[in-house]
Amino acid sequence: MRLDVKKTYKLFIAGDFPRSESGRSYEVKDRKGNFIANPAQASRKDLRDAVLAARNAHSSWASATAFNRGQILYRIAEIMEGRSEQFVSEIMAMESVSSKQAQTQVGEAIDTWVWYAGWSDKISTVAGSTNPVAGPFFNFTVAEPLGVVGIVAEERSSLLGVVLGLAPVLAGGNCAVLLASQSRPLSAITLAECLATSDVPAGVVNILTGLGDELTPHLASHMEIDGLDLSGVDSKSATALRMSSVDNLKRVHSFTSEKSPERILSYMEYKTLWHPIGI
């Protein structure tokens, strides 16, 4: 007979797993009201630290080769595969689903990383172009990463929603600050443990757990955030968040849970270059 060693679910900021700066945590329960865990309840200062970490990590992540980024995304899938049992049991506890349904979700989440890993070094070829111009110039249009993207993960599938939000953002060379589902945050933190051990540079992904109503307004108004994914926000709250995100012209999107190259391009911007011929 031995005592269980329970995991403390913490935040993921700049490659570290801190508790909330505020010292708070909150209770997560399953559908029947049984206690599951006490994850950290992030404050707006934790959010600020996370955004700063993402900004600091951005230049090196964006300048890594697209091939290298793809390899790292694939590596995440490899590491997740080895942890799949843990994901399955957490999903079963949080979502009250059968083990088969949970396994399907974990499998889809891992496949999503692989799918976007492949897109990483192809997206600029597919989306970019060589443009005919009336003059002695080469004219290229290339897609470049936007910067820091704030994600409120879609929460019907607690793991898949997180991966569907993160993978396209990372594939495009952006850094992310992700707010995990308030009622089902455990998979996101376990995913963070995979990210921390799979060559993703510190700060490229930052994951916060806490109360959505408290954190999303700051996510929307923060001037350091360039794009927002509001897939996990209901349409009424989304309107207010869209309004407070206009100050720095954030790209705000909301997706249904589909993989698509458009999701990568939603957080990229086009740069057009003119280069004289023959010089």
Partner 1 sequence: MSALNLIDGSEASLRRFLQTLPGVDQIGAQERAAMLGTRSIKTTSKKWAIDRAISMIDLTTLEGADTAGKVRSLCSKALRPDPQDATVPHVGAVCVYSDMVGIARNHLDSIGGQDIPVAAVATAFPSGRASRKVKLQDSRDAISLGASEIDMVIDRGAFLSGQLGEVFDEIRAIKEICGDKVHLKVILETGELVTLDNVRKASYLAMLAGADFIKTSTGKVTPAATAPVVLVMLEAVRDFFEISQIRIGVKPAGGIRSTKDAIKQLVLANEIAGPHWLTPELFRIGASALLNDLLMQRMKLSTGRYSSVNYVTVD
Helices 235-244 and 212-221, packing angle to 10 deg: 30
The answer to the question of residue 51 lying near partner 1 (CB under 8 A) is yes
Least gap, CB of 58 to partner 1 (angstroms): 11
- Interacting span for partner 1 (CB under 8 A) from 85-93, 100-108, 190-198, 241-249: 241-249
Least gap, CB of 176 to partner 1 (angstroms): 16
In sequence order, the 6+-apart residues with CB closer than 8 A to the CB of 254 are 229, 230, 231, 233, 238
Rounded CA-CA distance 227/269 in Å is 11
The backbone torsions φ and ψ at residue 15, rounded to the nearest 5 degrees and listed phi first, read 85, -5
Residue 79 tokens, joined: 């590491």
Nearer to partner 1, 121 or 224 (CB): 224
Residue 125 tokens, joined: 């070829």
The answer to the question of residue 247 lying near partner 1 (CB under 8 A) is yes
Helices 66-82 and 158-171, packing angle to 10 deg: 160
Nearer to partner 1, 19 or 48 (CB): 48
Q: Which of 21, 26, 36, 48 binds partner 1 (CB under 8 A)?
A: 48
SS3 at position 128: coil
Rounded CA-CA distance 69/199 in Å is 10
Nearer to partner 1, 129 or 244 (CB): 244
Nearer to partner 1, 16 or 224 (CB): 224
- Interacting span for partner 1 (CB under 8 A) from 18-26, 33-41, 107-115, 240-248: 240-248
Q: Which residues are near partner 1 by CB under 8 A?
A: 48, 51, 55, 218, 221-224, 244, 247-248
